[in-house]
Amino acid sequence: MSYPETRRDDVVETLHGVEVADPYRWLEDVEGEGVRPWMDAQDKLARAHLSKLPGRDALRARLTELFKVEAMGAPVRKGERFFLYRRAADQEKYVVYWKDGEGGEEKILIDPNALSEDGSVSLGGIYPTEDGKLVAYRLSENNADESTMYVMDVASGETSPVDVIPGANYTSASWLPDNSGFYYTVLPTDPDIPEDQRPGESTVRFHALGTPPADDPVVAPATKDPQVFQGVGLSRDGATLFLYKSYGWNKNDVFSRPTALADAPWAPVAEGLDAKTYVVEVHEGFVYLMTNHEAPNWKLLRAPVATPTLAAAQVIVPERADAVLDDASLVGGKLALTYMERARNVMKLHTLDGSFERDVALPSIGSVSGMIGQPDHAKGYFTFTSFTTPRQIYEADMATGETRLWAQVDVPVDPDAFQVEQVEYASKDGTTVTMFLVHKKGIELDGSTPFLLYGYGGFNVSLTPSFSSSIYPWLEAGGGYAVANLRGGGEYGEAWHRDGMLDKKQNVFDDFIGAAEYLVAKKYTSPDKLGIRGGSNGGLLVGAAMTQRPDLFGAVVCAVPLLDMVRYHLSGRGRTWVSEYGSAEDADQFSTLHAYSPYHRITTGTDYPPTLFQSADSDDRVDPLHARKMAAALQAADPDGEPILLRIEENAGHGGGDMVSKAIDSSVDTYSFLMASLGLSN
């Protein structure tokens, strides 16, 4: 490979007595001299190389068949109105529809396909009133986190010119029952506030319809701590307001106060605990709460509305030792509880006093969304999927527990051709880790099958069986797919999460390397046939794995990653993740971070596997500087000229572009790169 010329500076700083080299720091500032031309040259090189790989036309044709299908989401009922997402086979984005009653005519509420000519305007979410007459919704440019809230009258389709709220990046609208206004969290858009400090300036406010948002009264002031973020929720009857203060992904405080007493002090529901607590629902005089306080696998409680505290609450569904309570909702007078059992979901119905009533029948081993519905309506809806089952939406009768298939996504694949296994292996310290394997039936265990290993391992995120259209050309060509349930995730409860964070983060990388070693030892594949892929925190995962064990992998796809762990907290939303990773500002935490930071582990002369970095030009969550610096460092360090590519998606945020055509383009590049690197022909 002939890479674009890249300047290397002699930048070295001493942190806690350690000299830390950072020769590509100049690539951090996207507006700095020479950075954009360098990015353009890298992207041009990557796309030129990828465009010449074999089999791309057949791959594109098959991916187009798989992606361009009619799809829909589960309906949401508000009063007598229903809201649902649906996308026709020839549409780029999901359209939001509404209808009066179950048998009503579907009408378009918001069509994101028509919001901009180039598809750069994205719909972030919709938040209807309890009677379904009004809806708040968020729009963003280029699918970025930065977004603006609007309010629409559902029947007329008219959007208010007054009720326009910028800085609505991570919020919903908690409506008053009379539709006069809503509570929300706002992030300041003032460019004078340093980006890494903005999360600490978020405030909870109340917006009265028809009034200037700039005048919205503050319900909860800014914490001034960028590691603490705030949220708000309102009971359905509008009588009780709940305030959440989250300290990363492992603990929060919850407070409440009567809505009618705007100046009343916040009363603690759960405060000062090394745990997380959520309000599930307020119903018939009780507050239903989920918590992992003294219950790493979670439990369900209820307390009187007059004293909605953990101390006053009664445990109605105790913690299970063999499963994690993943979700709870109150629908049709029943408690619908979703559990994870060995990283796959089951759903159970309980009475309001917590007594078990019945299991909800599921088609097979897979994943379900939580039950969607209202406490006073008997019907609920949930989504089911598995590695071989595209999304299915079921309607449940909460009184009888019976379910019926309400809608499904039809994707042209033959699930009977593939086998799904769940295996166990020992990580470096002896911990047992589970992993899902998907491959054609009857493969030979002789090490010849190209495999793609995927993982995440952080932030309490659980990887359960789910359908992905993009992996099917790979599987149909004879490749295998593996998903490892690493520590740091939530598959086995909060203890599992904590065993993969802060000074225990290396456990996550050991678990992932252990998964690769298992696949090789059992002769599912071999190192030159094994690819790894991850994004965001998963991008850190594959970056760490490839720099710690470059001999173990034949290809790497690293998307929107964190890779410079010494300076990650200084950009994007980095300071909000300090509770998960730690910070180099602390001497002990610096030692841990510097030891595994992929950017700092690169060694000149090492033979690293072919690597495709996937970056997004509008990613305002994880700064694209990480991919830029890592690509530059690897290109300079690897002596044998195997491709180290940096592909930059235009008009895309952290989650990529939200258009089908962009997903197809990205998948063509990803899988043609993997197939060429690992010797798989489609």
Neighbours of 294 (CB within 10 A): 11
Distances (CA, A) of 281 to 97, 290, 314, 681: 26, 10, 15, 52
DSSP string, 600-624: HH--TT--PPPEEEEEETT--SS-T
- Distance in angstroms (rounded) separating the CA atoms of residues 117 and 33: 32
Radius of gyration of the chain (CA): 25
Distances (CA, A) of 572 to 54, 470, 559, 623, 626: 37, 29, 16, 5, 11
> Which one from 147, 469, 526, 536 is the annotated catalytic residue?
536
Distances (CA, A) of 436 to 239, 391, 476, 539: 46, 19, 18, 20
Using CB atoms within 10 A of its CB, is residue 64 exposed (0-12), middle (13-18) or buried (19+)?
middle
Active site residue 654: yes
* Residue type at 295 in one-letter notation: A
Strands 403-408 and 389-397: antiparallel
* Residue type at 293 in one-letter notation: H
Active site residue 579: no
> Which one from 283, 654, 666, 677 is the annotated catalytic residue?
654
Strand runs labelled E in 213-320: 218-220, 228-234, 240-247, 252-258, 267-270, 277-283, 286-291, 299-304, 314-317
Q: What's the DSSP call for residue 15?
A: E
CA angle 553, 367, 392 (to 5 degrees): 115
Nearest to 539 by CA among 444, 632, 626: 626
For the four alpha carbons of 290, 291, 294 and 295, in that order, the dihedral sign comes to: positive
- Residue 385: CA count within 13 A, CB half-sphere: 19
- Distance in angstroms (rounded) separating the CA atoms of residues 682 and 668: 12
- Distance in angstroms (rounded) separating the CA atoms of residues 402 and 114: 39
Buried residues in 68-96 as b, exposed as e (16+ CB within 10 A): bbebbbbbbbbeebbbbbbbeeebbbbbb
Q: What's the DSSP call for residue 528?
A: G
Strands 451-454 and 530-535: parallel
- Distance in angstroms (rounded) separating the CA atoms of residues 492 and 119: 39
Task: Let me know: does 16 contact 583? Beta carbons within 8 Å.
Answer: no
What residues act catalytically? Answer: 536, 654
